[in-house]
Amino acid sequence: MKIRKIRSGVWAICLAFGFMGCSNEQTFLPDLEGNMVGYVLTCDEFADPLDDHGGVLVSTFGAAHIAQIHTDARGRFEFRNLPAGTYDLFFEKSGFGNMKQIGIQHLGGKPTILGLSFNGSNQGSFRLYQLPTTQITQLSLENDTLSGEFDFAGDQPNNLTLMMFLSDESDFVTGEAKKIVTRYMAMTNGVYQGRMYAGDLPFQPGEIVYYRAAVVVGDGIFFSSNNIAFIEPDTYINYNTGRIIYPNLGNESDQFSYVSPE
């Protein structure tokens, strides 16, 4: 009796399994899947690549699919069997500025490769920069020349980039600055200096201009003459607020001021 029950059970499982196997025959296809492969380069606060690119948490957000994975020491990550669709990627690691890449089209089938090209270029690869530890102790603007003094935690670099926030109001909030510009500062005769032309700034002659600055890491954030930003891979846009996110900004300096020249 017991044997008969067991046999009946096995038959029932077999039949159910057989029917289930054919039940997807009418499913609308394709819903392709495929792997998504990319590389993240981690760099120090002066944009020099580190030896170990591991430990970066990569999150991918699709319409119906969210996945997370860590990079290996070479910076490689691979999401397996990701359904075809458009994805956003978010990169984060403690002590580093984060990064976001939106609108990645993943078609499925063979792997989607991000950031590397056949000819060896890695221009589109993702980069995370260590957050700046450099402190700005003095900034002066005179005769179209910006001069700065800094405290460095490590070795003194040959050059660095500042993001300048300028306003005609004292104690302004940087988010409400009248003008934001980035300036490349190079060591010249023992002093860090960069060019900043008063004529390019929206201030009247004789007006007191207040400014603060922060060290920014990355290869460059460029602004056109009409203040339109060209987004480089070290920035991204927050589409909820419409603002550009600068994830690699250091601490803001104290406020300084100068009189806009006649």
Partner 1 sequence: MSLTNFHMFHRNDLIVIVLYALTMLSVSCEKDPEPLTTNSVITGYVYLDDPDFESPTGFEVVASGPYGQKSASISNDQFVITGLGNGNYYLDYSRDNYGSVRQYGIQLFGNDTAHAEYVQLYKKPSPNFVMPEFIRASVVDNEGYESRKIIRIETNYSTYETYWPVRLFMHVSKEVSCSEYMESYPTMANYVNELYIEPSWLHFSSGTEVFVIGYSCNPRDNGYLDTYKNELIFSTLDKNKHSNVVSFIMP
Residue 4 contacts partner 1 per CB under 8 A: no
Q: How many CB atoms lie within 10 A of CB 177?
A: 18
Residue 37 contacts partner 1 per CB under 8 A: yes
Residues in Cβ contact with 167 at an 8 Å cutoff, skipping those fewer than 6 apart: 176, 177, 178, 179, 209, 210, 211
**Residue of 160, 150, 110, 125 lying closest to 38 (CA atoms):** 125
In three-state secondary structure terms, 17 is helix
Binders of partner 1 in range 120-139 (CB under 8 A): 120
Cβ proximity to partner 1, 20 vs 228, nearer residue: 20
- Taking CB under 8 A as the criterion, the residue among 4, 25, 189, 224 binding partner 1 is 25
Residue 21 contacts partner 1 per CB under 8 A: yes
Rounded CA separation 54/118 (Å) = 23
- Taking CB under 8 A as the criterion, the residue among 5, 94, 103, 110 binding partner 1 is 110
Cβ proximity to partner 1, 67 vs 104, nearer residue: 104
In three-state secondary structure terms, 125 is coil
In three-state secondary structure terms, 13 is helix
- Taking CB under 8 A as the criterion, the residue among 12, 66, 107, 231 binding partner 1 is 107
| Beta pairing class for 208-216 and 66-70 | unpaired
Closest distance of CB 20 from partner 1, Å: 7
Do the Cβ atoms of 196 and 168 come closer than 8 Å?
A: no
Cβ proximity to partner 1, 71 vs 253, nearer residue: 71
Closest distance of CB 228 from partner 1, Å: 29
The binding site for partner 1 (CB under 8 A) comprises 3, 7, 10-11, 14-15, 17-18, 20-22, 24-25, 29-32, 34, 37, 39, 74, 76, 84, 105-113, 116-120
